[in-house]
Structure 1
Amino acid sequence: MTGPLVGIDWLEERLGAPGLVVFDASVGAHRGADHRIPGARPFDLDGALSDHDAAAPHTMPSAAAFTEAMRELGVDDTATVVVYDGVGIYSSARAWWMLRAMGFDRAAVLDGGLPAWTAAGLPVEATGPAYEGPRGSFTARPRPGSLVDGATVEAALTDPAVAVLDARTRERFAGTAPEPRPGLRGGHMPGAVNLPFGDLQDPAGRMRPAAELRDAFAAAAGARERLVLSCGSGVTACVLALGADLAGYGDLAVYDGSWSEWGVPSALPVVTGP
């Protein structure tokens, strides 16, 4: 594996190889689809792979809970992991970033996801029961700073060396469209810059070439090389993390609570407009 993104040809050639684990990290309406890439296991962000005791959805579980979940899914420390989702590149990037935040670098996102796989006429199978194979040996080794809290983001907003980028749509960022989660304020953090995650993808749902990604991040972040990434609930911020990684950025953090935390009525500042 040469980077955080692999194509369908790469996966087709290796599907079923020893040590390769394929995860379906679909959420929402795509979760539990009736078909999957053969042998794919569920990386359930709406279920066990989020901390449901936290106030914000899709919060990262503890290192111990993540270790146990990966072992139950048969992941070894020496495994190679490919993650996809049913949209293209949406929630798969969140699974990739979680693995990376827990010290696991042998993971990649499938470019174009399940839509690209099926459009190419590649085989699928009926989605079966939950994974029932042998336990793995995975051990989480958390990387401090990969996932950050609201206090860290608040400080970053006034740090001239840091760019806080928001992956939500332009309308949600401006506060002209309602938030999908009830009770949240509209708008954005003062000093944040909008970079909708869809801008990093082509019409087929694949990531744009590295040169185009570099241009997009340079336009949003200027000369700043540390990026803090936010979105609605910490999912599509990870698409920005994937794009930034492909563009050559190395100093990255994802705001785990994202707007689901910041947008709750509180003393945290919110502004509207572009």
Structure 2
Amino acid sequence: MTTTALPPRAGRRCHNALNPLHSTLFFSPDLDREFGALGFTDPASMRLAARSAALGAVGPGTVAAAFYNYNHELLARHLPAVWDIASPARVLEARLRSADATLRRLLGAEAVVSAEMAEAAELALRAAEACTRHARPLYSAHADLPVPEEPHLAYWHAATLLREHRGDGHLTALLSAGLDPVEALVSHTATGKGMTPRWVLGSRGWRRNDWEAAAERLRGRGLLDAEGELTEAGTALRAAVEEHTDRLDTAPYEHLGAPGVERLTELGRGFLATAAGAGAFPADLVGKG
């Protein structure tokens, strides 16, 4: 294991370069096509199945715990019924086919077979060697899956492992900060870095009155002002959540070492810029709305 000290927030910057490329799948017409062929007709059921399939044929309670900020009522409308449409194994196969098609479409044929892609996959997989399973259900479930042979899919798989490892730790940080599911969403959107309310409400199953009630609770704690902006205390709390998450997610990046993290971040940013330029994300996805 390397002893090279990492620059501050190096792991977070690397995560921010890798995670969005994983997330392109959830906005991809390739996912709709592959899951439609399995018999899925509802977009929410497709995306819930795609992310939770690694956990097995789970019900809404397990997914509510693992996803944190989804409305249990939404989950109960689709789970466990989605597994009657297709088994988790078939869903995972369709998900990988969707990722393959999505990356080829967004990045281009040359990029997916490039030396840079192979290097990125090797670096990301090496970082993931130091991820830990305890108290990390989504990471641990994905760590049981085989690593795809093709470099671009190996990179996507490794990005998924690193994403879920950080995400599982982030839930601990949110709990420690006393932010419930909707408060976490409202305060994240208020930073300007989260999804707009339209996308949050549409994908997480909450209603506008849930959002407003959470905002009122945050105002009562002095974290949000009357205009819905974070106060100084709110900004400090969100920063503390991210720093707590960083501390829980240091192992993969310390294992990779500073030069490897810097190179993986550089490669990841390049692939992400290409994907974003190809229209990977809706224009109104991020912001205060």
Structure that is richer in helix per residue: 2
TM-score (norm 2): 0.27
Whose relative contact order is higher, 1 or 2, with alpha carbons under 8 Å and at least 6 apart? 2
Structure that is richer in strand per residue: 1
